[in-house]
Structure 1
Amino acid sequence: MFTPEQEWRHRRTHQKDPRGSRTMVVNSELERRARKGRFTRGVIGAGVVAIAAAAVGTGTAMAGSDDRTSKPVSKPVSKAKESHVTGDAWVKFPGDPETPYRRFIVDVHGGPWKIVDGKMEWGAARGTIRFNHFAPDKPGGPSKDHWGSIKVDYVMAGGPVAVVSGIRQDGVDANQKRGTLTFYQSPLGHKHDRMGFSWGIVNPQCQQMGTGPAPFSPASAGPDGRWLKGYTVKDGGIPLPDDPNVQPPENPPNCKFKKIY
C-alpha cells in the first residue's frame, strides 16, 4: 500500500505522455526537486529573464535600426485614413469687384500631424495648390493670368470642409510665406462650392497651420463663361495618437508683425 505522498509520486512518475508512450520521468524529477527548493530560484529567474528579453526584443531591434539610419522615426498616429482635397474652380473674390476672378487648382493629401521620436509634429500633408489672378497689369489694360503656387504641408478635413496650409512659392514677404485656405464642397452641387484664402481681405502675416479663414469666395463661371469641376473634400477623420505617452507639439516660433496698413 502506498501512502498518499507515494501514490502521488507513483502516478506522476508513470503518467503517459499524450504525444507518445514515454513516461514523464524527467518532468516528475524536476517537480520533485523544485518542491525541495533546489531549482526554484533558478527556474523562476530564467523565466523572468526570458520574458523580459522577449518583451524588450522588439524595442531593441527598433533602436538598432534607428542607430543604423541615424534618422528620426516617423510613426503613423492612428489607423485614421488620409484626408483629401482635390479639384479646380474659378471663384469670385468679394474684395475685388472690378477683377474678381481667381482660380485655385488643388491636389492635397494627408493629415494635420505626425509622430516623430515620440513627439507630435504639426504637418503631415503633401501636395500643391496653384492659384491664378486674372487681371490686367495696369488699370485699363487687358486681363492676363498671374499664377502662383503653395507647397502644402497641412490638411484637416471635417465633413465637407477642409483647412489646407502650406508655404507660398511666390515673392511675398517672409512673414507672409505661410498661406492657409479653406474649401467647402456643397451638398447642392459643385456650382455652390466655396473657398477662402489668407490674403486680400485677411491679414496675411504670421498665419499658422489650421487657422484658415471663412470660405468667403463662391464658385463661379470663369472669365470665359466656363464652369470647372469644383472641389471634392474627403474626410479621413482626426488621427489620434495610439501611444498615450506621446509628447505634445512645440509652439511655433514667434512671428514678428510688421504693420502693413
Structure 2
Amino acid sequence: MAQRKIAVAAAALAAAGALGGGTAMAQEGGRPAIKESHVTGDAWLKYPGDPQTPYRRFIVDAHGGPWKFVNGKMVMGDARGTVRFDHFAPDTPGGPSTHHWGTIKVDYLMASGPVAVVSGIRQDDEHGIPPNQKRANLTFYQSPRGHRYDRMGFSWGLVFPQCQQMGSGPAPFSPASAGPDGRWMKGYTVKAAPMDLPTGEIQSPDNPPDCSFGHE
C-alpha cells in the first residue's frame, strides 16, 4: 500500500480510537516503551442465551494494545496474555453438571474507560472447532457501581462465531453472577493507556485474509 503522511494516518487512527480509544501502542526506532492497557480478573456470568445451563466463567489476564509499527508499517495486534473460560453444564441431558474448560491466546487489546475488547485464538482443539471459528472476540465492562455489576460478552452463542475479525467484539451481554456454588469472584479490572503515534510516514496495515462460511 502507498505510504501516507502522518496527518492522514493520524486521522485514520483517531477514527479507530473513537471506537475504543485510550490504547497502548508499541514503538519503533528505539523510542521508550509507553504504558500498556490491561484487563485482568475473574467472574462467573449468567449467559442469557442458555437459561437451562447459564453459568460461564471467564478468567482474563491480557496486556498490550491493538497495533504496533514495524519499519513504518502498522501491524494489527500487539497484545499478549491468556483467557480461560469454563462452561458448567452436564455432559448428557439430565446428568450432573461438570466443568468444561477452554483457553484463548490473546493477541489484541483495545481499552477505553471501563470497557475493553480482547481478541485471540482459541486453543481448545479437542472440541473440534472449525478453523474459521477459532478467532474469539471478548468484551469486558468494569462497572462503576462495583464488580457485582460487571458484564462480559463473547463471540459465540448470541452472534455468529464464523469469520470473526480481530477486535470486533460484541456487546457485553452477560451479567456477573454468583457461581453455581454461590460464590462471587473478584470481577474485572480495565486499565486504559493513552494512545501514542510514531513520527514520520507510516503505511496502513494489510487487509485481513478472506474468510468463507462454507458449510460450517
Q: TM-score higher than 0.5 here?
A: yes
Q: Secondary structure at the match of 1:155?
A: strand
Offset, 1:76: 7.7
Q: Distance in 2 between matches of 1:204 and 1:76?
A: 39
Q: Distance in 2 between matches of 1:77 and 1:158?
A: 24
TM-score by length of structure 1 reads 0.69
Q: Which residue of 1 aligns with 2:84?
A: 130
Q: Distance in 1 between matches of 2:171 and 2:179?
A: 22
Q: Which residue of 2 aligns with 1:94?
A: 48
Q: 1:194 to 1:176 in 2, by over 3 A?
A: same
Q: Secondary structure at the match of 1:175?
A: helix
| Larger Rg belongs to | 1
Offset, 1:258: 2.4
Q: Which residue of 1 aligns with 2:93?
A: 139
Q: Aligned ranges for residues 186-205 of structure 1 at < 5 Å?
A: 186-205=143-162
1:107 aligns with 2:56: no
Corresponding letter in the other structure for 2:189: T
Q: 1:203 to 1:91 in 2, by over 3 A?
A: same
1:150 aligns with 2:150: no
For each residue in 1:143-189, what CA deviation from the matched residue of structure 2 results, as whole angstroms up to 9, or x when unmatched?
00000000000000000000000000013110001000000000000
Q: Distance in 2 between matches of 1:97 and 1:80?
A: 43
Offset, 1:74: 5.2
Where do 5+ consecutive residues of structure 1 fail to align?
1-72
**Match among 115, 121, 132 for residue 175 of structure 1:** 132
Q: Distance in 1 between matches of 2:82 and 2:122?
A: 10
For each residue in 1:18-50, what CA deviation from the matched residue of structure 2 results, as whole angstroms up to 9, or x when unmatched?
xxxxxxxxxxxxxxxxxxxxxxxxxxxxxxxxx
Q: Distance in 2 between matches of 1:217 and 1:143?
A: 20
Offset, 1:246: 1.0
1:214 aligns with 2:171: yes
Number of matched pairs: 187
Specify which structure has the bigger relative contact order, considering alpha-carbon pairs within 8 angstroms and separated by 6 or more residues. 2
Which has more strand, going by share of residues? 2
Offset, 1:257: 1.3
Q: Secondary structure at the match of 1:207?
A: coil
Q: Which residue of 2 aligns with 1:255?
A: 211
Q: Is the CA contact (8 Å cut-off) linking 1:83 and 1:236 kept in structure 2?
A: yes
Corresponding letter in the other structure for 1:189: G
Q: 1:102 to 1:210 in 2, by over 3 A?
A: same
Q: Aligned ranges for residues 58-77 of structure 1 at < 5 Å?
A: none
Where do 5+ consecutive residues of structure 2 fail to align?
1-26
Which has more helix, going by share of residues? 1
TM-score by length of structure 2 reads 0.83
Q: Distance in 2 between matches of 1:99 and 1:113?
A: 37
